Structure formats: C-alpha cells, structure tokens
Structure 1
Amino acid sequence: MAKRLFVTGTDTDAGKTHISCAILAHLARQGAVVAGLKPIASGGRDDAQRLWQHSNLQLALDTHNPFYFAPPVAPHLAAAEAGLSLSVEGVLAAMAPWQQQSADWLLMEGAGGWRVPLNNQQRFSDLARQWGGGVILVVGMKLGCVNHALLTAEAIRADGLELVGWVANCGLGEMARLRENLDYLEAHLGAPLLATAGHSPNPGDIEVHWHP
C-alpha cells in the first residue's frame, strides 16, 4: 500500500503547490513512484496541473483533481455557488481509484490552511485525519508566520497526526529578521526543517533534506 502525505500551509499562498512539487521531485529522484493529488481546487486548476506534471504516476487529471471551481474563494463557498456540497466522504470516494495504483507515495495537497472549511461541519483537517499518513507544513516566511506556524503545528498534533517536517518558503518577498525567525521555528516547531526554498521557479531545484 502506498505511503501517504498531506501538505498544508500556514495560510493561503504559503507556497504549498510549489513545495509539494519539490517533494514529489525529491521522492522521484530516489526512485519512488509518486502521485500528487489536489482533490479540491478553487480559482482554477493551475495548481492541480502542476502536481500532475510532477507526478511520475499520472492518471487522468480529473482523478488527481476531481473537484475544481473557477472563483478564487474558499472551497466551501465556491462549491455552494456551483450547487455542490463538499464532504470528507465525497472526497475520499473520489480518491478511490488510487487504492488500486502501484504507487510508493500519494501526496495530497490541501487548500489554504489546516482549519479551512469543507462544509459547515467538516474541515480540511478532518480530511487529513481520514486520509492518514504524515503531515508536512509549508511556512510562508512573512510577518506573522511564527504565530501561524506554531498554532498549526499544535492543531496537527492535537488532531492525532504526525508533523513529519516543515518547509520554509522564503520566496514570498523580503522578511525582516528572516534568520532569527527561522532559528526560532527550528527550535520550537518540534519537527525537522526539510527544506528552505528561495525564489527558484523550478521546484526541482529546491534541496529537500528528507530520506523517509
């Protein structure tokens, strides 16, 4: 059975897709068969297509990304506008074809941050719990990220999941006292720093320090 990962971020635009592609490239270089999944996308399918392109196990794009909406708003709002209702059960049912695939790793990328709603009762964190596997946190290095990162790490662990590592995305613009903030997070997140990403447009150029 394929090992599973769930990639979340400190907030929207933290760089989850860029980092997810880097992780897929890293695992593929180690000889693993990998697939990147973006079950729910709002604001178009660009992120899902990037994950598909960095997968060396590729099914139809609709299998990697079964739910997608044009409006760049929270997924539960975009789904409601389209007359649909998202749920953990519905997403996992759409992911069922992956159960039969001979993959080493299935990487699922969330949307926004850890507590983004799926509907009035369920959140992406509920999806991650049902999906299983470890969680990788992408920290968008900008003002406020330390608080967001620490709270997200606490929530992941409170939900009974393992934070296997985090990635510092330093490609969002200049940040005052970047080194001090990185040092603080390394000391307090309680999980290894897997990569420090800069401004490279190619995810394959990101050096990931992880050998699962």
Structure 2
Amino acid sequence: MKEFFITGTDTDAGKTHVTSLLLKLLAQHKKQAIGFKPLASGCEMAFDQLVNADALILMESATVSAKYDVINPFAFAPAIAPHIAAEQAGVTITADKLSSAYKNVKQQGADYILTEGAGGWALPISNTDYLYNWVKAEQLPVILVVGMKLGCLNHALLTTAHMQSMGINCIGWIANQVDPNMDEYQANLDSLKLRLPFPILAISPYSEQTPKLQIYKTLLENFALNT
C-alpha cells in the first residue's frame, strides 16, 4: 500500500483540486485508490449528516468506495478552523482518534491512500497539538501543493523550512495556478524550482474547462506508475 499526505501553502492553495487529479491519474492507471479527508469545516446537512464538498469530490474521484464517515470522520458546520469548530461542537480531536479513523480507511482495500489536510501545514487539531505531528507519527510521505499567487514564495519556503526541521519526508511539490492573472507566473515558478529542496512533481495550469495535470517523471516514480 502506498500512502501520501497532501498539504498546501495555505487554505486556498488547491489541495482538493490536486488530490482529485491525482486520484484520477491513479484511476487511469487502473489502480485501487481512495481519498481521506480527516478534518473538514464548512459542512452542510445532507442525508441526515454533515457533509463537506471537498470530501465529496475525493469520493467521486476515487476508485475505491467507502461510507462518508470513513472518508471524513470529523465534519463541522462552521467554516472556521477545525479545532475551534470542534471545541464549539464539544468534540475532542486527538492524534489517537485520527489514527483510529485512518485504520478504517486502510481496511477499505485500496492500494493507494491520498490524505488531504485542512488549511495549511501548521493546522491545530486542539489547543496543544497540530495535524503535522500526526503526519509525522504515521510516517506519511508529504506532497506540498503551492498555490501560485502573490506571496507563494514566502509561504512555500516557510512551510518547507518547518518540514525540514521536523524531519518530514516531503517527496516533492505541485504548482497549482490558482490566479490566472498572476504577474510573473513563470518567474515565480522558476524561483520555486531553484529554491525548494525537493523536486517538482506536476503543474496544474489554470483552466475554466477540464482541469489537467502536467506530470513530471518524479511523480510517476513516486507513485510507482509505468512511465
């Protein structure tokens, strides 16, 4: 089983968009893949339960099906930081609870599990803990989604520095063009390629039509897909 954690430079970097494209890539290669969205806020009631649009996208893109609460075990209505929403709902999120939920995902029979984080890398899950500690405990290889917009250099470099300080295995990054009017897009992309200490895996160009992923060989190698 291959497992990856997809994080972003900030809340709107495009983690769900990229994770969905990666799941579809695995589907094209006839792989059994599932997405996992452990924490989600901004949920709405449907079928007598809170559901999150991002989690539903992951479910639609996967080749392995599972019940909603397996894919998204912690769902909260307010569109606020999950640990604050959890506190308001009287729910305690712990690393042990996340690991227990993750075991349920592992039991679904997938060869690939893509776990999408919430917000950026430094996401609190309580007043004393962060999601990245769970990622490290599970020893998940990390993929960083860089939302290509003004400020992305700072966000990407700070996120990278923190990962390195923790000994996180970040296998590479994916550029997601969230701003079609970004000034000097190519120059910023080149700057990231020069400065980030791990390889670029793919580029997701801005598109109002069918989204596409420009794939680098490094992504195929990490996913063990035939080139």
* TM-score, normalised with respect to structure 1: 0.94
Tell whether the 8 Å contact from 2:204 to 2:211 is kept in structure 1 after alignment: no
**Which of 69, 82, 105 in structure 2 is aligned with 1:98?**
105
Partner in structure 1 of residue 27 of structure 2 = 28
* Aligned equivalents of 2:120, 2:169: Cα separation in 1: 16
Secondary structure of the 1:101 match is coil
Secondary structure of the 1:143 match is coil
Give 1:84 shift: 0.8
Going from structure 1 to structure 2, the CA distance change for 1:113 and 1:178 (only over 3 Å counts) comes to same
Partner in structure 2 of residue 76 of structure 1 = 83
Give 1:73 shift: 0.4
- Is 1:207 aligned to 2:214, yes or no? yes
Partner in structure 2 of residue 179 of structure 1 = 186
Aligned-pair identity in percent equals 40
* Aligned equivalents of 2:153, 2:167: Cα separation in 1: 22
Secondary structure of the 1:95 match is helix
Give 1:153 shift: 1.2
Going from structure 1 to structure 2, the CA distance change for 1:165 and 1:201 (only over 3 Å counts) comes to farther
Tell whether the 8 Å contact from 2:149 to 2:178 is kept in structure 1 after alignment: no
Give 1:101 shift: 3.2
Give 1:201 shift: 5.4
Secondary structure of the 1:102 match is coil
Tell whether the 8 Å contact from 1:18 to 1:203 is kept in structure 2 after alignment: no
The number of aligned residues is 211
Give 1:163 shift: 1.2
The one-letter amino acid paired with 2:196 is L
Tell whether the 8 Å contact from 1:8 to 1:137 is kept in structure 2 after alignment: yes
Give 1:190 shift: 1.7
Tell whether the 8 Å contact from 1:6 to 1:133 is kept in structure 2 after alignment: yes
The one-letter amino acid paired with 1:68 is A
Tell whether the 8 Å contact from 2:204 to 2:213 is kept in structure 1 after alignment: yes
Secondary structure of the 2:188 match is helix
Give 1:148 shift: 0.6
Secondary structure of the 1:146 match is helix
The one-letter amino acid paired with 2:193 is E
Q: How does 1:9-20 map to 2 (within 5 A)?
A: 9-20=8-19
Secondary structure of the 2:215 match is coil
- Which has the larger displacement, 94-103 or 188-197? 94-103
The one-letter amino acid paired with 1:94 is A
Partner in structure 2 of residue 152 of structure 1 = 159
TM-align CA RMSD: 1.5
Tell whether the 8 Å contact from 1:4 to 1:132 is kept in structure 2 after alignment: no
Give 1:206 shift: 2.1
**Which of 167, 170, 175 in structure 2 is aligned with 1:163?**
170
* Aligned equivalents of 2:204, 2:6: Cα separation in 1: 15
The one-letter amino acid paired with 1:172 is D
Give 1:185 shift: 0.4
| Per-residue Cα deviation, 1:15-56 (whole angstroms, up to 9, x for no partner) | 000001011111222222110000110011000000111110
Gaps of 5+ in 1: none
Going from structure 1 to structure 2, the CA distance change for 1:38 and 1:201 (only over 3 Å counts) comes to farther
Give 1:159 shift: 1.7
- Is 1:55 aligned to 2:55, yes or no? no
Give 1:71 shift: 0.6
Partner in structure 1 of residue 4 of structure 2 = 5
